[in-house]
Amino acid sequence: MGLFRHLTQYFTKEVEDQIKLKTIGTSSKADKATFQDAGTNARSTELLSRYITVYEKGGLLSEAFDLYPIFMFSQGYEFIGDPGGIEACKSFVDGFDFSKTLTLMVIGSLVCADAFAEVAPGRGAMSRTPVAMLPRDPTQFSIVFDDRGIAEAYEQKVGFDKKIRLEKNEICHVQMIPSLRGSYGVSLMARCFDEAMRDTRIVTGLSNAIDRHGTPKWLGRVGATPESIVDQESLDLITTTLSNLNSKTSIAVPKSVEVQQLDTSGIQGVQAYHEMSLLRLLGAIGVPGELVGWRQGTTDNTAVSRIRAFLLKCESYNQALARQLNLQVFDQITGNSGSVKIQFKSLLPDEIADKTAWIVNLMKADPLDPYGIITKEQVREKLGLI
């Protein structure tokens, strides 16, 4: 372990030791009963594995989840801060598939509440320097807490009995939605799981109903008059005729046979059932229907508002992700806390335009001294350039 890692661990522990807590976290060793209820169930390997299976085979649900990283990283990112540190951070992300890692971390945290990646050092002369982030199966990881609910380390369980302990500086732990009950996050899949199961039942029921009643059926009443007597051969002939109807079929029957058409109106309310189910599912995932090919409402203004709200949500996730990456990864690379930060670019270009127009108006207020009201440093800060 590198010198900076030792120092980081030492000073982090020193700061935590200075915190004098009276309360007990729900994930602490001292509250084992609560931890069993709130923690173990929430991190059930079987349940998380089921969530992953639903995501991998979820069709529309999977597409909706994939929209989060697609939009979050659509405008790219940049490093701001010390020039030397920026070069080191760029060299780090160029050494592996950083974009793929970010996508897996976001999807992992949305599906399983928490995502974990090993911050791996190099070999030889690089043994003290992180050179890659390797995403791992989130179902295998758990957090090791002290008696007050503060995370001490991480533990990976492999197979039936093998456990690997990793210190905090060896793992990048990402969560998009924090929990009120402890250090583990909240799974977006868990929030929408019931709706996904209901949608599956509704779609299956509609499909079965359409298969059964979606096309006209024919009923042949043989022996419609009291005096008629029909033999089995005639019954078989009529049945075969009605089973092979097409657009060119003509039927001639005696008075004793009556042919009626069934299921002429098809299945009623299919669209209403489908839209209700889809609306509830997309609402639980938090994705506008327009982004998955379903138009909701009759005006474009409401669609624009929903998409804008979704982009604002993605931006808040970007801020949370950037903070976790900066604290857990890039501070280790530079060896100087906060000297370099990753910043994801704005997803709302109109906000940048509004800020720019506001700054220009302030500068025009005093033509003789454009920077009299707002300084150059403040301009750069407002535009996210520092």
The tokens describing 344, both together, are: 């994801």
Task: For 202-261, give the DSSP string.
Answer: HHHHHHHHHHHHSS-EEEEEE--STT----HHHHHHHHHHHHT--TT------TTEEEEE
The tens digit of pLDDT for each residue in 107-129 reads: 999 999 999 999 998 888 777 78
The tens digit of pLDDT for each residue in 189-242 reads: 998 888 877 877 777 776 777 666 666 666 666 665 566 666 777 777 777 777
The tens digit of pLDDT for each residue in 247-282 reads: 666 666 666 667 776 666 666 766 676 677 778 888
- Which of these, 116, 135, 119, 97, lies nearest to 174 by C-alpha position? 116
The residue type at 23: T
- Around 165, how many Cα atoms within 13 Å sit in the side-chain half-sphere? 6
The DSSP 8-state label assigned to residue 134 in this structure reads: E
**pLDDT class of 381 with cuts at 50, 70, 90:** confident
Is residue 100 helix, strand or coil?
Answer: helix
Q: Residue with structure tokens 């996508």?
A: 103
Residue 303, H or E segment: helix 300-325
Distance CA 232, CA 193 (A): 54
- Around 130, how many Cα atoms within 13 Å sit in the side-chain half-sphere? 29
Pairing of strands 257-262, 217-222: antiparallel
Distance CA 333, CA 337 (A): 10
